[in-house]
Structure 1
Amino acid sequence: MRFHRPIFSLLVLGLVLLAAAANASDGLTIDADSQYRFAQSRLDADAFDEAIAEFNRFIHFFPEDHRVPRARFQTGVAHYRAGRFPAAAEVFDRQTRNYEGLPLQDEAFFMLSRSHADQGMIGQALLDLHNLMAVASDVDVIDRARYEQGWLHVEQGQWQQADQAFDAITPANRSRYRIADLRQSLAAHDAIPTKNPTLAGTLSIIPGGGQLYCNRYRDALTAFLVNAGLILASWEAFDNDLPALGGVIAFVEFGFYAGNIYGAMSSAHKFNRDRMDAFKNRLNRNRPMPLSLAPAPGGAALLLSFDF
């Protein structure tokens, strides 16, 4: 049988196009399990933008799947882990209102609080936990919220409020959160050494006195030598009938002298901040790794989170 070349070419082209269409159709076929696993794999690989896109694709193609709330939650987690705390807060805030009564709502409140705290919005973070305790019925969830509130107070140096929050945890969970050891360590806050910034500034009337008070011995010696040298140079300039030079040196000395006072007060603030941070770090040794339950296919998943 003979085929004309144009007809034969058209037949071959048609077969190629049909095969390509079939392959394309096969490539676009996705199922819910595969899509969710792929989205989660991108999150696990820290490919946060890809994870958000894939979880959103899962939500779009499988809107009736029982994992849709979890997929939305994971988009918030991706934003959070990427450091986009406002975007994460927006996702979690919606979930606290859309999934009332579900375990996922509790986790959304906790993540919303963390998202606000990492923006420096400690007051709002505390309010988020207060709102959670108002709607939660599980004692374990309420105790966990009290525990997180206590640590937010610790971060603010609000020792009494922190102790009250920890002490409110029910007896059933006190050993889990090591409350006895934590409160005992917290009681030592009165022994945190501090320096008075006003006193440091006053002592700096004698250059270097404030730095010496703040245990900054090298800075104290430097401040004393620089200021004493400039004062002596200005004095000698005036004594040798060089008022212009003496005035310039005196003006420069005034700047160094004022800086000496300001530096002493700043050193006192830094001393206090460093000692408080060291105290917080010692407290953190009593902080166990937080555990929580979250819904997962076929049951629940145990979540373990780390604070960096």
Structure 2
Amino acid sequence: MFFVSVVQLHAETIRIDSEKQYEFAEQYFSDGEYSRAIDEYKRFLYFFPDNKKAELVLYKTAMAYYYNRQYKEAVNAFSVVQEKYLTTDLAIESAFKISECYMKMNRFGPAINTLRNLALLNDAIDVKDGAYYKTGWIYLDKSWLEKEGPADSWGKASEYFEKISGKNRGKYRIGKISAELERVRKNKNEAMPVKSPDLAAALSVIPGAGFAYCGRYRDALVAFLLNGALIYAAYESFDNGNDALGSIITFVELGFYSGNIYGAKTSAHKYNRDENRKFIQRLKQSTSISLGNYNNDLGLIVSLNFKF
């Protein structure tokens, strides 16, 4: 005879409280555990899609991706906020953040287009001016990457800075920025020294001279000694009647010699880009303004940090 004992287990009902769930996600965010924060924010949105904090949680999810350097995912998350809430402070801030994410990925075109659309579709003067200001800086930031010089990007930057309303020109220190850009245009060699790539290549007829012109003295010495040694070795080979060896050494030397010329020209371009980048960094430091800092009260803050 079998006795069957049936034990009934009464599972306790688990209740998820929205505030506790939010605090749980926030704790991970504060601790820098962004992947876990993302999971908990998503859990919040799953259980409480209509909660008053849903917009904030969507935004914080995007910020967690941003801080986790998952910029593609951050763009998608910020886009959800922007498309769902359109004109709220966090939706506007999300547009600025989308542009920043593209900049982190070195995608200057989409970064600029995002801000253009923001300015076009928004009637608020402060938002438009913020978009113009950041667009101008993107053009300045990308100028140091251009081999043909920064003139075109600087011109575009100036156009956007000039679009800023009279109300906000002082706040963004447009007068100082424009004056600095104009000073460099008029006195480029003094304000921002440049090296001529063509002159660097011409000087490289003497191995290493082009590198020395660009301030790369160690490379200049190596190029001079290496090319000099190969030229001397080729001469000795021919002089001793060893034409085959002389031909091989000459062939090898031609590669090093042409590399010396190309390297010097490339060094001049790099020197100019570095000087342009340094100038932009100095300009940023002297006119430091950060836009769109996050506010726990769902507000958009424009903080000014002027350095004298």
TM class by shorter-chain length?
A: 0.7 to 0.9
Secondary structure at the residue paired with 2:299? Answer: strand
Offset at residue 146 of structure 1 (A): 1.0
Partner of 2:270: 270
Which of 47, 51, 54 is equivalent to 1:68? 54
Offset at residue 181 of structure 1 (A): 2.2
Rg larger for: 1
Q: Distance in 2 between matches of 1:296 and 1:242?
A: 81
Tell me whether 1:108 sits opposite 2:103 in the alignment: no
TM, length-normalised to structure 2: 0.85
Alpha-carbon displacement from aligned partner over 1:116-149 (angstroms, at most 9, x marks no partner) = 2221111111111111112212211111111111
Check conservation: 1:182, 1:286, Cα contact below 8 A.
no
Q: Distance in 2 between matches of 1:50 and 1:289?
A: 32
Q: Which amino acid aligns with 1:34?
A: K
Which of 163, 166, 180 is equivalent to 1:168? 163
Q: Report the CA distance shift for 1:296/1:241 in structure 2 as closer, same or farther (over 3 A).
A: closer
Offset at residue 94 of structure 1 (A): 2.8
Q: Which amino acid aligns with 2:299?
A: A
Check conservation: 1:117, 1:125, Cα contact below 8 A.
yes
Check conservation: 1:104, 1:295, Cα contact below 8 A.
no
Partner of 1:133: 119
Partner of 1:197: 197
Q: Distance in 2 between matches of 1:101 and 1:210?
A: 56
Q: Distance in 2 between matches of 1:201 and 1:291?
A: 44
Check conservation: 2:115, 2:135, Cα contact below 8 A.
yes
Tell me whether 1:286 sits opposite 2:286 in the alignment: yes
Unaligned runs of 5+ in 2: 144-152
Partner of 2:182: 187
Q: Report the CA distance shift for 1:81/1:294 in structure 2 as closer, same or farther (over 3 A).
A: closer
Q: Distance in 1 between matches of 2:51 and 2:220?
A: 68
Taking only the aligned residue pairs, the percentage that are identical comes to 36
Check conservation: 1:294, 1:303, Cα contact below 8 A.
no
Q: Which amino acid aligns with 2:243?
A: P
Q: Report the CA distance shift for 1:305/1:64 in structure 2 as closer, same or farther (over 3 A).
A: farther
Tell me whether 1:121 sits opposite 2:102 in the alignment: no
Check conservation: 2:93, 2:300, Cα contact below 8 A.
no
Q: Distance in 2 between matches of 1:148 and 1:180?
A: 16
Alpha-carbon displacement from aligned partner over 1:48-73 (angstroms, at most 9, x marks no partner) = 11111111111111111111122112
Alpha-carbon displacement from aligned partner over 1:66-116 (angstroms, at most 9, x marks no partner) = 111221121111111111111111122233222123222211211111112
Q: Distance in 2 between matches of 1:303 and 1:47?
A: 27
Q: Report the CA distance shift for 1:40/1:69 in structure 2 as closer, same or farther (over 3 A).
A: same
- Stretches (4+) displaced over 3 A: 291-297, 299-306
Check conservation: 1:186, 1:283, Cα contact below 8 A.
no
Partner of 1:57: 43
Question: Relative to structure 2, which stretch is displaced further, 178-187 or 257-266?
Answer: 178-187
Q: Which amino acid aligns with 2:161?
A: F
Q: Distance in 2 between matches of 1:227 and 1:295?
A: 62
Tell me whether 1:216 sits opposite 2:216 in the alignment: yes
Partner of 1:32: 18
Check conservation: 1:159, 1:189, Cα contact below 8 A.
no
Offset at residue 164 of structure 1 (A): 2.2
Root-mean-square deviation over aligned CA pairs? 2.6
Q: Distance in 2 between matches of 1:130 and 1:193?
A: 33
Offset at residue 195 of structure 1 (A): 1.6
Check conservation: 2:41, 2:61, Cα contact below 8 A.
yes
Offset at residue 294 of structure 1 (A): 6.2
Q: Which amino acid aligns with 1:300?
A: G
Q: Report the CA distance shift for 1:245/1:95 in structure 2 as closer, same or farther (over 3 A).
A: same
Q: Distance in 2 between matches of 1:293 and 1:197?
A: 42
Q: Distance in 2 between matches of 1:34 and 1:303?
A: 31
Q: Distance in 1 between matches of 2:209 and 2:291?
A: 50
TM, length-normalised to structure 1: 0.85
Q: Distance in 1 between matches of 2:133 and 2:53?
A: 29
Secondary structure at the residue paired with 1:156? Answer: helix
